[in-house]
Amino acid sequence: MNRLQRNEKLTRLALLMIAFSAVSILAIITIFIFSEGTPIMFRYGFKKFLFGLDWYPTEKSFGLLPMITGSVMVTAGALILGVPFGLACAVFLTEFSSKRLRRVVKPVIELLAGIPSVVYGFMGVVILVPFIRETLGGPGLSVLAASVILGIMILPTIISISIDSLLAVPATYREGSIAMGATRWQTVKMVLFPAARSGIIASIILGMGRAIGETMAVIMIAGNAISIPNSLLAPVRTLTSNIALEMGYASGEHREALFATGVILFVIIMILNTIANVTSARRIRKK
């Protein structure tokens, strides 16, 4: 074995160790969360945790349904607002704008992902919450406020990945579609979107993960009321907010219940990602 082959083997081994270390860290985190959170769920029953309406740790009541509902509503609202705007911006920058404009705007959009979430939350408290309170009523701290802020926060992820996915489509697809008489919009809708579907769905999944896992901004603008919201203008508490607000002083079964909240959040994210991936795979097979 010569020196070049030996160096190549060492490099391959080093990369393999790095990859396994990353997977091992994720596995350790997962095992730790489940080992800390599942015992109390077995003691009190999964039904009480998932469908209980009351969260009073001092009284041994650990119902997570209001927080689960809040997380789902806020995440759904963020996707409803963020996905159409994000895809529209990506399509405009790739198909209807000049390359010079795209080279300027795309890095600016990507910089938005680096803004701390507390800044988004502060802007929501100062601008959005008073606007909702004065215009639509209610306390202002609400599902709607959290959905709007999270919808803005996931835009850089959706736009950036969608642009890269659309630009990765071979130019011959566009040229062939236009040569057959299709308009620019028909080309985007019937050719580019199907060809870039996997990347676009990946951007939506990552945006969804960012929305459902966000903590600080949601704490500042959601209201943190432990109840199932009856409207978009009602305050709400999410699973992540529940953990962040109470972990600092929790102990005993209260602390275990917060780890159980993390387990539920982990499972919800895995279910949503699995549904999105399976749906994408089925559509690709149908093509």
**pLDDT tens string 117-147:** 899 999 999 999 999 999 988 888 999 999 9
* 201 vs 210: CA distance, rounded Å: 14
Q: Are 240 and 214 within 8 A, CB to CB?
A: yes
Phi, psi of 92 (to 5 degrees): -60, -45
Domain spans, the chain:
3-44, 64-286
* Token code pair at residue 11: 């490099």
- pLDDT band at residue 285 under the 50/70/90 scheme: low
* 23 vs 215: CA distance, rounded Å: 25
* Of the options 1.10.760.10, 1.10.3720.10, 2.40.50.140, 3.40.630.30, the CATH number for the domain spanning 64-286: 1.10.3720.10
Q: Is the dihedral of CA 28, 33, 36, 37 positive or negative?
A: negative
Task: Supply the pLDDT for residue 128.
Answer: 92
Give yes or no for residue 65 having a pLDDT over 60.
yes
Q: For tokens 């926060």, what's the residue?
A: 153
Burial of 203 (0-12, 13-18, 19+ CB in 10 A): buried
Mean pLDDT of the chain, nearest integer: 86
Instruction: For 40-64, write each residue's pLDDT tens digit.
Output: 888 888 888 888 888 888 888 888 8
Q: Are 211 and 239 within 8 A, CB to CB?
A: no
